[in-house]
Structure 1
């Protein structure tokens, strides 16, 4: 768990440093930083989508995942529950902490390094990927915190829980972390990051948090008996 602890700590430290700088930034400059982060999120999202879609052997899986995941998320209404929780810690209605935190969690948790890192750490004792990820996340969290504040630190706690779970379940998850599944997760992650950018720029309100369950559909789909079932159903309709 050393790599995960270092990764989460880097985010917490980076967020703390960024929050300190935030206090000295005027509101006018905060506005342009917010726009910059929104544009960066959109750019990263497009990059993830294009890069990984070209590598995918199942280009329709991410579509089905988005639809199924969206229906699950909307039924549970995850976003409303998160917003209620956020209001308890944030009295400023104009603060975009939720959007910032969503962006941070997606950037930190969806990437290949964040998924393969704890698996490599658990199965091989190799923390190289996690240490690399820690440097990247530390810098990113500092930048995000200069705009969204100290609340970005919570993404470090979420990342610790995420990577810790993967670490503990590595024996089970490892065989399913195939390049294809990672591609699908990255495509979906790219779409979600793109949508958070749209939210930050206030182009249109998208319930990004309700779409997060889509990230788990490719993994579930790749479980042998579920994959066989879907293929049989698809074969039935095709023939």
Structure 2
């Protein structure tokens, strides 16, 4: 878990540093930073989809995942619950920033493969690299949305810690198909966040988060037969 703790520390440290910039940045500069983040999120999301789509053995699973996951999220109304919770602590657009941060930090090959590599091979390379990247990203996010971005570190700890624990339990039986499908669906969600940041269209990304569970369930069930 050393790599995950480093990753978390970098996010918190970057958020604190970004807070100092946030206090002195004019509104127009915050706007251009948000647009830059939107473009960056779209680039990261598109790259994930393009890289992993050819590796998929379940070409329509991402469509099923987004449809089923979206319906579940809408039924539970995750977006409103998330917004209401965040708005208790901040009246700004922190909820949008946090949703983007969590997706950027958690969905990606380094964030998924890093805990697996540490658990099975005691190699911290992926997570140390990911931590540095997340630290830099958190500076930019916190300079735009405020110190509240640091709360995304909790989600990162739970996400990577869970993957680390599962990898220890399953050892060499980790399924590459699950990682591939998770990355494709996650990449699409990151693109959706970018679209929202660019104010092209408001998408309730949080309501789509259950989509990430669908590939895990479907592939696990299919392997039983």
Which range moved further: 123-132 or 67-76?
Answer: 123-132
TM-score, normalized by length of structure 1? 0.87
Aligned length: 225
Alignment RMSD: 1.8
Tell me, which stretches of 5 or more residues in structure 2 are unaligned? none
Q: 1:219 to 1:176 in 2, by over 3 A?
A: farther
How far apart are residue 57 of structure 1 and its match? 2.4
Greater radius of gyration (CA): 1
CA distance in 1, matches of 2:172, 2:215: 13
Which residue in 1 is equivalent to 2:148? Answer: 151
1:176/1:106 CA distance change after superposition, 3 Å:
farther
**How far 1:12 moved relative to its partner?**
0.5
Task: From 210, 217, 220, give the equivalent of 1:220.
Answer: 217
Assess, with a 3 A threshold, how the Cα gap between structure 1 residues 67 and 141 changes in structure 2: closer, same or farther: same
Matches within 5 A, 1:92-111: 95-111=92-108
Tell me the TM-score normalized by structure 2.
0.92
Q: Could you tell me which residue of structure 2 aligns to residue 119 of structure 1?
A: 116
Of the three residues 194, 198, 202, the one matched with 1:205 is 202
Q: 1:174 to 1:68 in 2, by over 3 A?
A: farther
- Matched-pair contact (CA < 8 Å) for 2:33–2:140: no
Q: Distance in 1 between matches of 2:24 and 2:44?
A: 28
On the 8 A contact 2:107/2:183 being kept in 1, the answer is yes
C-alpha displacement at 1:9, in angstroms?
Answer: 0.3
For 1:192, the equivalent position in structure 2 comes to: 189
Q: Match of 1:211, SS?
A: helix
Report the Cα distance in structure 2 between the residues aligned to 1:155 and 1:138, rounded to whole angstroms.
Answer: 12
Residues 108 and 163 of structure 1, relative CA distance in 2, 3 Å threshold: same
Which runs of 5 or more residues in structure 1 are unaligned?
232-239
How far apart are the structure 1 equivalents of 2:213 and 2:171?
15
Structure 1 69/172 Cα, relative in aligned 2: closer, same or farther at 3 Å? farther
